[in-house]
Amino acid sequence: MTDKPRRLLLVSACALVDADGRVLIAQRPEGKQLAGLWEFPGGKVEQGETPEECLVRELREELGIETQIPCLAPLTFASHTYDDFHLLMPLYVCRRFTGTPQPREAQALKWVRPRQMRDYPMPPADAPLIPFLIDLL
Ligand code: C5P
């Protein structure tokens, strides 16, 4: 079997956890790749940015909430080969943020218990992260 070379894509993702131990998931909107699937909020790490800086920016842009780098605890990471790139995606846990998450990019949002997450179809990179959250929460 031959394997074609793929570019590496670094995406930072976050499990936002509320006071009841529920986690926020967001549905990828129409027009995006993997539309309709539920994912952890986050996005692509830009040139010169750390994964933590990326998350602070993405949480502000996508959800309108504020957090700080010391509030982001690394939990694990996803590593998944898609057709045209290989995705590396650290997953952070964040329990301290200000503001109420709002769907700033037309995405549906849901607070779910980690065990309920299996009922929401997720991208293949995200789904293997669920057991880590079940163990943690
Ligand atoms: O969100 P964005 O479209 O910028 O992400 C780029 C690609 O990374 C997506 O098309 C998807 O394949 C992958 N991705 C993922 N899980 C996420 C975020 C992105 O698999 N939580």
Segment 19-35, tens digit of pLDDT: 999 999 999 999 999 99
What are the structural domain ranges in the chain?
A: 21-136
**Structure confidence by residue, pLDDT tens digits, 85-124:** 999 999 999 999 999 999 999 899 999 999 999 999 999 9
Q: In this prediction, does ipTM exceed 0.90?
A: yes
Q: How far apart are CA 8 and CA 29, in angstroms?
A: 23
Ligand 1 atom nearest residue 122's Cα:
16
Contacts of 111-120 with C-beta under 8 Å, sequence gap 24+, read 111/18, 111/20, 111/22, 111/23, 111/24, 112/22, 112/23, 112/25, 113/21, 113/22, 113/23, 113/137, 114/21, 114/23, 117/23, 117/25, 117/38, 120/25, 120/38
Best of 8, 10, 11 to mutate for ligand 1, by most ligand atoms within 8 A of CB?
11
Query: Domain 21-136's class?
Result: alpha beta
Cα(43) to centroid(ligand 1), Å: 7
